[in-house]
């Protein structure tokens, strides 16, 4: 027996269908319901179903604007029991919103009690608050009892409810709407009633009116909270197509506390911004020291109106701080129009013209239906009045007939038979009170008949003339404006004010110590913490590769072996104690697992003619302008040099000199003119600048002067000192000459190099050597040696590991900041400085040999 057969025993009807079909069909019905009957407003009256039901229920309960308030719980119960069978909380929340003057441009409910606040406070429970209709909602409900709109049965078929309200003004544009449904959302801002009515009347006069003409009347949104709306193009796009973007800015002013101290006063905030959250967020900016010049922020709002006071420190730039607050807080927000409404039972994204058309067409139907209702009623009354007037002339005979009749029905029949009255007239006669037979009432009947004739004539004219119908709509719109119209609250500005904040202007300028280690830990400490700390916080076997006192407004360029650089303003580094470990670079900017820091350069000013030299392991080099390294977005590493797959960035130098010195691992030194190396952008890969034999690679590339010395750190912990002037100038892309003698066993390989000027030697500056397991701090005088062609041994590589960086600290009075390349070339009798030399290769016994500057012979690896 199948499952279906077993189920048939207990279930009368089983529908066989796939899950996909069931879910699809049910969800389609659900979506249609929430789109049409829950979340989106009708274009005709601008109301969602729950709002319409609340207003109609209150009108049926007689809760007009001039009647006593009634408990909100009673209203919510009436709405839920008769028209809206959902939660009472959703009904009450809708009531509360309709009553909030900071959400609704024209509130539709007059609520007595706590109905929430602009600070985000929720309303009191419905058992505590009371409510009644406002004048505006009465205008929306006006003439609903004159068969002006269609009614449908409610959920249990016991009551009737309207599908739309008559709406004496275009509520959708005046109060706006927000809502989210399945696949659709709407966001329509409120507008000024006077402007909307003016545009509606203009549309009535000319249905071919252009959107440009409409925008001369509807200037833009008019929020209940005021503020400044920027973006005329966004308003035009929204009014035309239904979507557009504007910016809402708080209304502010700057008060002078004293001659050197100001206060920012906020009197209006953007629409739907929570005031308490706004004040809190600005105070957090002060507490987090993201802006130092705010002394205090206070909410001074009272019954007189909204007021937020922001006291500034003495000497602070009030306008700059205000711009920063616009940029960083909800004092300025973007508002994106999404004007979706139910039009002809369908959700449509529409501009203002289709909304006006839908409203005008609706009003035509309302006025026509009302006129037909009133015409029928007037004709009926006129018929009765004519019968009463006719009765006056035979009143004595009628009285006799009535007295002789058996009952009311018999009296009606006798009167109709004797004088030819209709049944309606006869009914009116027999129910007439005797005092109405006085002379005064007879004159009143005649006057009423004349008035009814004029009224009937007017109604027939309205029903037969399109122009007359339009005049009625205009007249009633003008009456509503006179009753409810208010001046505009929001100001309109044509252009969106683009605010660009230089965060450096927010930073207090001070001197700090910056330390960066080879493992990638970065720390910023005060100079006091640096001086007070006897030791620096480091991981085991880690060492500093950069240590310098800088200004908080300086910027670090941190270069990595993968050809990238990290742009890191000093003020972005969190302050710590010098003995702390620091922040790992990956927590600041994400880098690759195999990415390592090779060089750190501190920059105070990018707007210079400085250049940076970049060199790779395989001998590719380029120069780049320092100003190209300045960026505004720096959340990830930025490309400094394009590398081949197996290449790495090995050395970076700054402060251009006349010559470039390139050192290779196997001890070759190539000196060539700086002008021979072209300038490239950051995305370029550079050019071949040093010819390398198999197994050789570049160890360092330096800017040098002719008068400089240079030092080479070897793989065995030796430092070799040499003279730049003794190196001939070759063309680029040569091997150069040998400066480290080759050994067949345990050779010395160059691992790093540094320039050593005469001033650095004179001042005996510090020298840092970084090794695999630590670092060594020396002075220039410690590098002196004699009688050893492999230099001076400074550390045991078995203890500290192999060295890989040697750094000579700057001299105080060095010419390091000068750019001598822009000067005219000096004439010197030294032929080495004026003639490009080629490498000298001689042949002895059919073997190629290389001539080095020490006149020592060494076999060429080739």
What is the Cα–Cα distance from 253 to 356, expressed in whole angstroms? 38
Superfamily the domain 40-167 falls into: Topoisomerase II, domain 5 (3.90.199.10)
* pLDDT at 351 exceeding the cut of 90: yes
CA neighbor of 808 nearest in space, from 663, 660, 709? 709
3-state SS class at 180: strand
Query: pLDDT digit string (tens) for 291-325?
Result: 888 999 999 999 889 999 999 998 888 999 999 99
What is the Cα–Cα distance from 514 to 528, expressed in whole angstroms? 13
* pLDDT at 597 exceeding the cut of 50: yes
Q: Count other Cβ atoms within 10 Å, centred on residue 300.
A: 12
State the residue for tokens 């450096």: 504
Question: For 289, which DSSP code?
Answer: T
Question: If you average pLDDT over residues 133-156, what whole number do you get?
Answer: 95
Q: What is the pLDDT of residue 814?
A: 63
How big is the chain by its Cα radius of gyration, in Å? Answer: 45
* pLDDT at 570 exceeding the cut of 70: yes
What is the Cα–Cα distance from 70 to 459, expressed in whole angstroms? 38
Question: If you average pLDDT over residues 484-497, what whole number do you get?
Answer: 92
**Residue 525 burial by CB count (10 A; 0-12/13-18/19+): exposed, middle or buried?**
buried
Contact 52, 115 (CB under 8 A): no
- Report the side by side order of strands in the sheet with 294-299: 251-258, 261-268, 308-312, 294-299
Q: Which residues pair with 127 in a beta bridge?
A: none
Of 266-275, 363-372, 755-764, least confident by mean pLDDT is: 755-764
3-state SS class at 354: helix
Query: pLDDT digit string (tens) for 157-175?
Result: 999 999 999 999 999 999 9
The residues near 132 (Cβ < 8 Å, ≥ 6 apart) are 58, 63, 64, 65, 67, 68, 69, 70, 109, 110, 112
- Give the pLDDT band (50/70/90) at residue 4: low
What is the Cα–Cα distance from 614 to 686, expressed in whole angstroms? 9
- DSSP structure string for 592-646: -TT--EEEEEEES-SSS--EEEEEETTSEEEEEEGGGG--S--SS-EE-S---TT
- Which helix (H) or strand (E) segment holds residue 299: the answer is strand 294-299
Beta strands in 604-757 (DSSP E): 611-616, 620-625, 638-639, 649-654, 659-664, 668-673, 687-688, 698-704, 709-714, 718-723, 737-738, 750-756
CA neighbor of 306 nearest in space, from 466, 455, 117, 550? 117
- Give the pLDDT band (50/70/90) at residue 839: very low
What is the Cα–Cα distance from 672 to 734, expressed in whole angstroms? 9
* Biggest alpha carbon–alpha carbon distance for the chain: 164
Q: Domain limits of the chain?
A: 40-167, 251-330, 359-483, 507-603, 658-676+683-862
One fold for 251-330 and 658-676+683-862: no
**CATH of region 359-483:** 1.10.268.10
Which range among 414-418, 479-483, 576-580 has the greatest average pLDDT? 479-483
**CATH of region 658-676+683-862:** 2.120.10.90
* 663 token code pair: 């050192």
- Please identify every residue annotated as catalytic: 128
> What is the dihedral sign for C-alpha 536, 537, 539, 544?
negative
Q: What is the pLDDT of residue 672?
A: 94
* pLDDT at 201 exceeding the cut of 70: yes
State the residue for tokens 């270069």: 559
Q: What is the pLDDT of residue 811?
A: 87
- Give the pLDDT band (50/70/90) at residue 505: low
Question: If you average pLDDT over residues 655-677, what whole number do you get?
Answer: 93
* pLDDT at 187 exceeding the cut of 60: yes
Question: If you average pLDDT over residues 626-641, what whole number do you get?
Answer: 90
**Residue 653 burial by CB count (10 A; 0-12/13-18/19+): exposed, middle or buried?**
buried
Contact 550, 512 (CB under 8 A): yes
**Residue 827 burial by CB count (10 A; 0-12/13-18/19+): exposed, middle or buried?**
exposed
**CATH of region 251-330:** 3.30.1360.40
Contact 158, 343 (CB under 8 A): no
* pLDDT at 834 exceeding the cut of 60: no
The residues near 66 (Cβ < 8 Å, ≥ 6 apart) are none
% of the chain residues with pLDDT over 70: 92
- Give the pLDDT band (50/70/90) at residue 58: very high
- DSSP structure string for 90-103: HHHHHHHHHH-TTT
Query: pLDDT digit string (tens) for 408-450?
Result: 999 999 999 988 899 999 999 898 887 777 765 778 888 999 9
Query: pLDDT digit string (tens) for 261-284?
Result: 999 999 999 999 999 999 999 999
The residues near 487 (Cβ < 8 Å, ≥ 6 apart) are none
- Which helix (H) or strand (E) segment holds residue 133: the answer is strand 130-133
**Residue 168 burial by CB count (10 A; 0-12/13-18/19+): exposed, middle or buried?**
buried
Query: pLDDT digit string (tens) for 773-820?
Result: 888 899 999 888 877 888 888 888 777 778 789 999 988 876 544 444
Give the β-pairing of 857-859 and 847-851.
antiparallel
List Cα–Cα distances, 66 to 133, 135, 167, 720, 728, in angstroms: 9, 9, 20, 101, 104
* 65 token code pair: 């604007």
Average pLDDT, the chain: 88
Q: What is the pLDDT of residue 16?
A: 82
Beta strands in 740-801 (DSSP E): 750-756, 766-771, 774-779, 792-793
pTM over 0.85: no
* pLDDT at 6 exceeding the cut of 80: no
């Amino acid at each position: 027996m199948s499952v279906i057969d077993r189920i048939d025993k207990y279930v009368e009807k089983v529908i066989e269908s796939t899950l996909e079909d069931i879910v699809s069909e049910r969800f389609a019905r659900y979506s249609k319901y929430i789109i049409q009957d829950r979340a989106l407003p009708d274009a005709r009256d601008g109301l969602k179903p729950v709002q319409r039901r609340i207003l109609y229920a209150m009108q049926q309960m007689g809760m007009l604007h001039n009647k006593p308030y009634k408990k909100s719980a009673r209203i919510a119960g009436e709405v839920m029991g008769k028209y809206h069978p959902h939660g009472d909380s959703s009904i009450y929340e809708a009531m509360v919103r309709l009553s909030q003057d900071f959400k609704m441009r024209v509130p539709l409910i007059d609520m007595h009690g706590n109905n929430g606040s602009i600070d985000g406070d929720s309303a009191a429970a419905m058992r505590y608050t009371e409510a009644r209709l406002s004048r505006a909602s009465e205008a929306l409900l006006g003439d609903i009892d004159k068969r002006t709109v269609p009614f449908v049965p409610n959920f249990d078929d016991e009551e009737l409810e309207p599908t739309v309200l008559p709406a004496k003004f275009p509520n959708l544009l005046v109060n706006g709407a927000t809502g989210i449904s399945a696949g659709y959302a709407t966001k329509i801002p409120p507008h000024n009633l006077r402007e909307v009515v003016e545009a509606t009347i203009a549309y009535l006069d000319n249905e071919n009116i252009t959107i440009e003409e409409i925008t001369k009347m509807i200037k833009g949104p008019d929020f209940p909270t005021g503020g400044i709306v920027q973006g005329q193009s966004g308003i035009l796009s929204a009014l035309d197509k239904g979507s557009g973007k504007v910016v809402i800015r708080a209304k502010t002013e700057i008060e002078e506390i004293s001659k050197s101290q100001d206060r920012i006063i906020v009197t209006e905030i953007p629409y739907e911004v929570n005031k308490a959250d706004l004040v809190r967020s600005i105070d957090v900016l002060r507490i987090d020291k993201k802006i130092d010049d705010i002394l205090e922020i206070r909410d001074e709002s009272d019954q007189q109106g909204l007021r937020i006071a922001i006291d500034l420190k003495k000497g602070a730039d009030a306008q700059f701080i205000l711009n920063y607050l616009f940029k960083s807080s909800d004092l300025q927000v973007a508002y994106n129009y999404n004007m979706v409404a139910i039009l002809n039972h369908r959700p449509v994204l529409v501009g203002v013209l289709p909304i006006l058309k839908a409203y005008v067409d609706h009003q035509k139907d309302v006025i026509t239906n009302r006129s037909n209702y009133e015409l029928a009623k007037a004709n009926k009354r006129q018929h009765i009045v004519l019968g009463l007037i006719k009765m006056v002339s035979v009143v004595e005979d009628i009285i006799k007939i009535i007295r002789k009749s058996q009952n009311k029905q018999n009296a009606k029949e006798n009167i109709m038979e004797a004088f030819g009255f209709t049944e309606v007239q006869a009914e009116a006669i027999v129910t007439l009170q005797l005092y109405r037979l006085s002379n005064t009432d007879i004159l009143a009947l005649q006057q009423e008949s004349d008035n009814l004739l004029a009224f009937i004539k007017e109604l027939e004219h309205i029903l037969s003339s399109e122009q007359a119908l339009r005049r009625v709509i205009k007249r009633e719109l003008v009456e509503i404006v006179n009753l409810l119209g208010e001046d505009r609250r929001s100001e309109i500005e044509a252009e969106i004010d683009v605010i660009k904040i230089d965060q450096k202007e927010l930073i207090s300028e001070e001197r700090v110590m910056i330390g960066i280690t080879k493992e990638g830990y970065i720390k910023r400490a005060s100079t006091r913490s640096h001086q007070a700390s006897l030791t620096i916080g480091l991981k085991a076997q880690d060492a500093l590769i950069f240590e310098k006192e800088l200004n908080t407004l300086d910027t670090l360029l941190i270069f990595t072996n993968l050809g990238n650089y990290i742009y890191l303003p000093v003020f972005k580094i969190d302050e710590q104690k010098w003995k702390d470990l620091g922040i790992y670079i990956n927590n600041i900017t994400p880098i690759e697992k195999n990415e390592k820091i090779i060089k750190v350069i501190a920059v105070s000013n990018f707007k210079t003619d400085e250049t940076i030299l970049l060199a790779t392991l395989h001998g590719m080099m380029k120069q780049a302008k320092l100003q190209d390294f300045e960026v505004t977005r720096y959340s990830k590493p930025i490309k400094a040099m394009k590398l081949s797959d197996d290449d790495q960035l090995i050395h970076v130098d700054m402060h251009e000199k006349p010559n470039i010195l390139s050192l290779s691992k196997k001890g070759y030194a190539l000196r060539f003119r700086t002008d021979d190396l072209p300038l490239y952008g950051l995305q370029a890969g550079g050019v071949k600048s040093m010819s390398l034999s198999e197994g050789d690679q570049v160890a360092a590339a330096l800017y040098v002067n002719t008068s400089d010395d240079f030092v080479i750190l070897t793989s065995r912990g030796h430092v070799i000192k040499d003279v730049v002037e003794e190196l001939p100038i070759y063309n680029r892309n040569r091997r150069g000459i040998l400066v480290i003698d080759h050994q067949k066993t345990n050779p010395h390989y160059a691992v790093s190099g540094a320039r050593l000027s005469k001033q650095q030697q004179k001042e005996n500056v510090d020298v840092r050597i970084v090794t695999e397991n630590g670092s060594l701090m020396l002075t220039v005088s410690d590098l002196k040696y004699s009688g050893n062609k492999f230099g001076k041994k400074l550390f045991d590589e078995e203890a500290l590991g192999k060295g890989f960086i040697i750094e000579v600290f700057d001299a105080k009075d060095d010419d390091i900041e000068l750019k001598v390349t822009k000067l005219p070339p000096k004439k010197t009798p030294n032929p080495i400085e004026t003639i490009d030399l080629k490498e000298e290769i001689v042949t002895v016994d059919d073997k190629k040999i290389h001539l080095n500057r020490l006149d020592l012979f060494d076999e060429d690896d080739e």
